[in-house]
Amino acid sequence: MEPIMALIVGCLYAAAIYMMLRRSIVKLVIGLMLLSNAANLLIFTSAGMQRGAPPLIPEGALRPEGIVADPLPQALILTAIVIAFGVLAFAVVLIHRAYNIIHTDNLDQMKDTDT
């Protein structure tokens, strides 16, 4: 399973970087979305994938019985998804406002503040 996941993660990163290098700000935001998804899947994969029971501790015991899944990566990913969702919502509104004000979606024409 890990090699397939690694490939998927690699493809997502590649797609994200390709999209971010395009000139359109819409594609830029799509690239950012893919990038955050790639990072989430990377956490999922690198933390070790195993089939395990839910990590529930029986009453009176100090540790769960048998092989259990590591709940921490899932908590990390959940947090990261929520954060990425909020930030992307902001980014979408930002490019909409930027388009209304600058009247272009071409990043090459947004150079006034660079030089």
Partner 1 sequence: MRPEVALPILVPLLTGALSLLAWRSNIMQRILSITGSAALLICSIWLLISVHQEGHVVMQMGGWAAPWGITLVADMLSAIMVLLTGMMALAIAIYSLGSATPSHEKFGYYPLMHLLLAGVAGSFLTGDIFNLYVWFEVMLIASFALLILGGERAQMEGAVKYVTLNLVSSAIFLSAIGLLYGLVGSLNMADIAVKLNQTEHSGLVDVIAVMFMVAFGIKAAAFPLFFWLPASYHTGPVAVSALFAGLLTKVGVYALFRVFTLIFNQSPDFTHEILLWGAALTMITGVLGAAAHFEFRRILSFHIVSQIGYMLLGLALYTPLALLGGVFYITHHIIVKTNLFLISGIVHRLHGTYDLKRLGGLYRSHPGLSLLFLIPALSLAGLPPLSGFFAKFVVIRAGLEAGAWVVTGVALVVGLLTLYSMIKIWAEAFWKAVPEGVQPQPPQGVGGEAGLALMYLPIILLAGCTLFIGLNGQPIYLMAETAASQLMNPQGYIQAVLGGVGP
Residues that bind partner 1 (CB under 8 A): 20, 25, 28, 32, 35-36, 38-40, 42-48, 72-73, 76, 79-80, 83, 86-87, 90-91, 94-95, 97-98, 101-102, 107, 110-114
Q: What's the rounded Cα separation, in Å, for the pair 115 and 111?
A: 7
**Euclidean distance between CA atoms 99 and 47, whole angstroms:** 40
- d(CA 34, CA 14) in angstroms, rounded, equals 9
Cβ at position 99, least distance to partner 1 in Å: 9
Q: Which stretch of DSSP H or E encloses residue 70? A: none
CB of 87 to partner 1, least distance (A): 6
Closest approach of partner 1 to the CB of residue 14, in Å: 14
